[in-house]
A and B are shown apart, each in its own frame.
Chain A
Amino acid sequence: MSADVNRDAVSTEELHEALVEYVDKANASPRSKKTLASWTCRIHIQATDLPDAAFTFHVIKGVAQPMVQGLEGVPDLVVRGGSIDLAEIFWGDANPVSNYMQGAIKTQGRADDVMRLDAMAMFIFLGQ
């Protein structure tokens, strides 16, 4: 059983670590790189319960760029949620769409970008 179960929050460092791991996994997935090859998107990720947990995730033509701490540039997409909800998604411990459908995470931006971000998680964790 995971030690993360029943936790209410993670630290900014843990969330950053989860995001860095996620970037590595995204770039290691050939399916993700192929299907999202035309996708360029600047994503701001913000934990609502940790004031300093804000990150910029930039995907350029399907390639995930190194995670940046802080919010850089004008985003195409904003993802907000509790730190534990975000971390679980990027760890692959939670289904991002379930969290989204239940209102645990919120997005601002075009539906196409939201779908592609979810598709990236699907390629990484479900190997589709």
Chain B
Amino acid sequence: MAELTATEPPQLSRSLSLSGASAISTGLAFAAINFLGMAAMLTYVSGPLSWIAVLAGGVFILGVRALFSELNGLYPTAAGIRLWMGRAMNDRVALIITLTYMTAIVLVIGADAYIIGEALAHAFNNGHLVAMVYVTVLLVLATWLNLRGIKLAGAAEKVVTTIVVLGTVAIGVAAIVNHEPLAHPGADSSSSPLQALILGIFLYTGFEWVTTNAEEVTKPKTIQRAMLVAVLVLAASQAIFAVAMGLTLNGEQLGTAYPQLLVAEAALGHAGMLAMLAITALTAVNTFNGGFVTLSRFIYAVAREGKLPRALTRLNDRAVPVLPVYLLGGSSLILAGVVALTGSFFVMVSVCAALEMMIYAAAGYVVWRLRRQDPDQARPFRMRGGAFVALGCAGLFGLLGILASVTVGPDISPVPLLIVLGFAALATVYVFTYVPRLERREAEELAARRAARAAARAASRTGAQVVESQEGARS
């Protein structure tokens, strides 16, 4: 294949602005599960100091931003993750990591649906069973909207993200100003700065998914700047709300699936709680919009590449990949059901955190490997500190990922690790047994099409020669 040379970015009729990209990055990170992340964090660090954990997490995330900026500069494409991992490691390993990572998005969608269902049930004094009805309705609605090809446009996305951020900050400030001393604060049983840091990092995860919009910008620096804006916005808003939560809720309240509602209720009464309910629902709009659209299209692309079954490429009359959307809706519903039955929402937080740390570790490794493999390649953005800082990031996030996978709230538990290993094992078996068959079929079909075209061209050339010779004979 020919190597592409760098060319000037073109003008496009519709392109993504810095504010639009920042809204996408912030919106993807600011999920309802973040409120549970804050609650889990507050079991390790006392409320008034929780902002330190959030900001420390932000500092580490700036390192992640540098890694993704360098990779996005090298491969500014929606297929970035497949591309840069494929360049730096064995394609099979890259595919296993990608497929395992994709489960994190399903987890976030399922968890968000569950959290909103529980929040609605709390707000309207319903039981857990009705909460599951809300979850089902939400996911059916999200699936239906996706199948109809309806999604949030750029301007609406900005409005939704702005309301979520400003609303969270306003309620957080009100809670800090109005709080009363707590009899049983959350972090009285255990104190672990490292665990608090992991959860601090978790509050930003997903911000890097904006790199899949790299082809929609006309200025290459827009994505890296958008990620910086998102990190700053997330740091400020979540630090305020984490402090508010720590000052307002006791240990028992932190263990609920809707701690944010309790913060708002304590600060502003029933009206505040309803406002927070609306904000929580809006975070899901971003999660469902970004998660469903991004992941279903990604599944479609991997299937079109010939690495997933072809049935996943079937489009409906609105050019929406039908099966991936159904699969996402169905698996999110099953997941939300399992969480509702087991009450294991903090396990979800740990699994998501572990998967995200894993991908950050992989990004660090890839930056290091590509710097060694091709040191002279033009890099629009270079991570400061050189290749060894990237390798250090890989090691650090790898360790944090392992730690995240063996803790649930304040307890040590192997469950998140077993779930992650289960996903990875399934992906490995699939990649080594089924993918080779798909690849063989794809190669055979392409060869058959090539042969058919060559035969058709040969026939048309022969026909032309016959006509020419007949005309020559006549003249």
Contact = CB atoms under 8 A, between A and B. Distances in A.
A1 B4 contact: no
Contact of A101 (B83, B218, B453): B83
Chain A interface category by residue count? 35 or more
A122 interface: yes
Nearest to A44: B10
A109 B218 CA distance: 9
Contacts of B319: 35-36, 39, 112, 115-116, 119
Contacts of B78: 111, 114
The listed residue with most A CB atoms (<10 A of its CB), out of B5, B10, B82, is: B10
Contact of B5 (A4, A34, A48, A85): A48
A60 interface: no
Contacts of B12: 74-78, 108-109
B454 A2 contact: yes
Interface string B62-82: 000000000000010111001
Interface string B203-222: 00000000011011010000
Interface string B256-270: 000000000000000
A54 B100 CA distance: 40
B446 A35 contact: no
Contacts of A39: 319
A125 to B, nearest CB: 7
Given A42-B13, A94-B446, A122-B304, A103 B83 contact: yes
A122 B297 CA distance: 15
Contact of B1 (A76, A102, A116): A102
Interface string A60-95: 000000000000001111101111110000011111
Interface string B441-462: 0100010011101100100000
A110 B451 CA distance: 34
Contacts of A48: 2, 4-5, 7
B372 interface: no
A21 to B, nearest CB: 10
Contacts of A81: 2, 4
A107 B3 CA distance: 15
Interface in B298-317: 300-301, 304-306, 313-317
Given A2-B454, A35-B315, A76-B14, A111 B216 contact: yes
Contacts of B86: 101-102
A114 B215 contact: yes
B472 interface: no
Interface in A3-18: 3-5, 8-9
Given A75-B10, A100-B79, A80 B4 contact: yes
A91 B315 CA distance: 22
Nearest to B213: A111
Interface string B1-33: 111110101111110000000000000000000
Contact of A125 (B213, B300, B449, B457): B449
Nearest to B455: A2
B101 to A, nearest CB: 16
Contacts of B5: 48
A2 B442 contact: no
B77 to A, nearest CB: 7
A39 B313 CA distance: 18
Nearest to A39: B319
B215 A107 contact: yes
Contacts of B304: 95-97, 118, 122
A108 B313 contact: no
Given A80-B4, A93-B453, A115 B213 contact: no
- Which one of A3, A94, A103, A106 has the highest number of Cβ atoms from chain B below 10 Å of its Cβ? A103
Given A76-B14, A106-B77, A98 B9 contact: no
A74 to B, nearest CB: 5
Contact of B215 (A4, A82, A99, A108): A108
Given A114-B78, A122-B313, A2 B451 contact: yes
A125 B343 CA distance: 49
A103 B77 contact: yes
Contacts of A106: 4, 77, 215
Contact of A8 (B2, B82, B306): B2
Contacts of A91: 453
Contacts of B83: 101-103
B77 A107 contact: yes
A84 B2 contact: yes
B10 A108 contact: yes
15 contacts: A1-B454, A2-B450, A3-B454, A3-B457, A5-B450, A75-B13, A84-B2, A85-B2, A91-B453, A95-B304, A98-B305, A100-B79, A114-B215, A119-B319, A128-B314
Given A75-B13, A93-B446, A109-B215, 6 more contacts: A3-B457, A76-B13, A85-B1, A95-B446, A97-B305, A106-B77
4 closest Cβ pairs, A-B complex? A82-B2, A97-B304, A2-B454, A104-B1
Interface of A: 1-5, 8-9, 34-39, 42, 44, 46, 48-49, 74-78, 80-85, 91-112, 114-116, 118-119, 122, 125, 128
